[in-house]
Chain A
Amino acid sequence: MPSLLRRITLTPAEPAADQGVRGDVVAEALEPIPSYCEVVDGHVHDVIEQTGDAAHAIVEQLVKVDSLAEVMAGDVSQLAGTLSRTEGELSHISASNDQLVGRLISYFLHRDHQIRALVDQMRELNQHVTQIEEVSRATNILALNAMIEAVRAGDAGEGFSVVADEVRKLAHRSSQAAHGIGSSIADLTARLDAVLSDDSQFDSDEPLPAQTEETAMTRRLGGIAGAQREMSDMVAGILKDTVNAAHQVQRSSDALISETTGAVAQVQFQDISRQMLEHVAEAVGDVARQAADIAAYARGELTEEELRDRSINVESLRAKHVMARQRATHAQQTGQEAQSAGEPLIELF
C-alpha cells in the first residue's frame, strides 16, 4: 500500500502579504492535534491488542495441532509396531502350517500308492483262485473216473466208490469256495478302485459321516486345523486392532483439521488490523498535513481562514470509522459516551 503520508500534497495558498502570524491562530490550529493523536493512539493500541489476541489464539491452536499430531504419530507408530510383530508371528505360523500341509499331502500320496499296490496284489490272488478251480475240476473228474472204476470192480470196489464220492464232494466244495473267494476279490478291488478314483464326495455339500475315533491321522489333521484357527484368530485380531487404530487416527485427524481450520480462520485478524492501520495511517497523514499547514501559515503562505478551513477535526475522524470497536475506542479516547453496539454480528435479512 503506498504511504498515505507520501500521498499528502500541500497546496499552499499564495503568500499572504503583510499578514502577521497570530499566536492564538497557531494555538487554535494546534489544539485538535492532541485529541486527534489520542484517538489514533487508541486505535493503534486496539490493533496491538487485537494482533496479540489473534497471535495468542493462533499459537494456542498450533500447540493443540502439535499435540494432536504427536498423538497421531504415536497411534500410527503403535499400529506399525503391532503389525510388524504380528506379521512375524503370522509368517512363522504360516510356514509351519505349510510344512505340515506339505507333509500331509506327501503322506496321502504315499498311502494312495500303497493302497493301489495292495489292490494290484489282490487282483493277482485271482490267478490262484483260477488254479484252485482248475484243480477242483480235475479232482472232480478224477473222482468220477474212480467211481466208474469202483462200479466196474463190483462188490470189491464198493468201499472205494464211497471214497470217490467223498472226493467228488470235496472237489465241488473247493470249487464253490474258490468261486466265492474270486467273487469277493473282484467285488473288493472294484470298490477300492471306485474309492480311489472318485473324490466327488470331497466337493459335495452333503455332510460326510462324523469320525469320532481318534487316530494318529485325526490328531495330525486336528493340529493343522488348530494352527489354521490360530492364524485366523490372529488375523481377525489384527484387523480389529487396525480398525480401532484407524478410527483413532480418524478422530485425531478430524480434531487436527478442526484446529487447523480454526487457526486459518484466525488469520481474518490480518484483514481487520489492515483496515484499522489504514485508518491510522490516514489520520497520521491528516496530522502531518495540519503541521505543514501551520508551518505554511507561519511562513505567510496560508491565511487564517484557509488554515481554519483545512483544520483537522476529531469528529471528522469519527465519521471514517467502520468498526464498532473503532467507534467505541473513539468515544473512550474523546470522553464521549460509547454507543452500545446492539447490531448482531450475524444477521439474515
Chain B
Amino acid sequence: MTTVMLVDDSATMLMSLKSILTKAGYTVETAGHGKEALEKLSKGVKPNLIISDVNMPQMDGITFAREARKAPGMRFTPILMLTTESEQSKRTEAKNAGATGWLVKPVGPDQLLGVIKQVLPGA
C-alpha cells in the first residue's frame, strides 16, 4: 500500500486532497504544518511520497523539505510542493532544499494523480 503524507495548514485542502488520493487507492497521512509532519516522520511514519504546502505557520514547506531529507529513510522519497506561490526564486529555493517538484494550486485530480504516477512509477 502506497502512503502519501499531506502537509497543509488548510483543513479544507487536506480534506479535498485526502478524498482524491484515497479514492485513487492511496493511504493518506496528514499534518497541519511542517513541524507536525517532521514529528510524524520521527515517530516512524514512512510515506512513499510527501505533498506539502509552502506557506504554513510554525514551519514552512521549504524548511520542512530540507529537514525531512535528514530523516532516516527519507533521502530519496519524492517531495512535491503544492502551493499558491509562483515566484521562481521560491521554486529554486525548494529545489535546493530537496523538493522533487512544484505544483501551483489549484490542481485538478487527473493532473495530481498524473504527477504522482510520474514520481512513483511502480505505485
Contact = CB atoms under 8 A, between A and B. Distances in A.
Interface of A: 257, 261-262, 264-272, 274-275, 322-324, 341, 343, 345-349
B10 A323 contact: no
A264 B108 CA distance: 10
Interface in B85-118: 85-88, 91, 95, 99-109, 111-112, 115, 118
B20 A271 contact: no
Contacts of A347: 91, 101-103
B38 interface: no
A268 B8 CA distance: 12
Interface of B: 8, 10, 12-13, 15-16, 19-20, 23, 55, 83-88, 91, 95, 99-109, 111-112, 115, 118-119
Contacts of A262: 108-109
B107 A348 contact: no
Contacts of A270: 10, 12-13
B100 A322 contact: no
A261 B107 contact: no
Given A267-B12, A343-B88, 13 more contacts: A262-B109, A264-B19, A264-B20, A268-B13, A268-B16, A271-B8, A271-B13, A275-B84, A322-B83, A345-B107, A347-B101, A348-B118, A348-B119
A264 B84 contact: no
B51 to A, nearest CB: 12
A106 to B, nearest CB: 60
Nearest to A267: B16
A270 B95 CA distance: 27
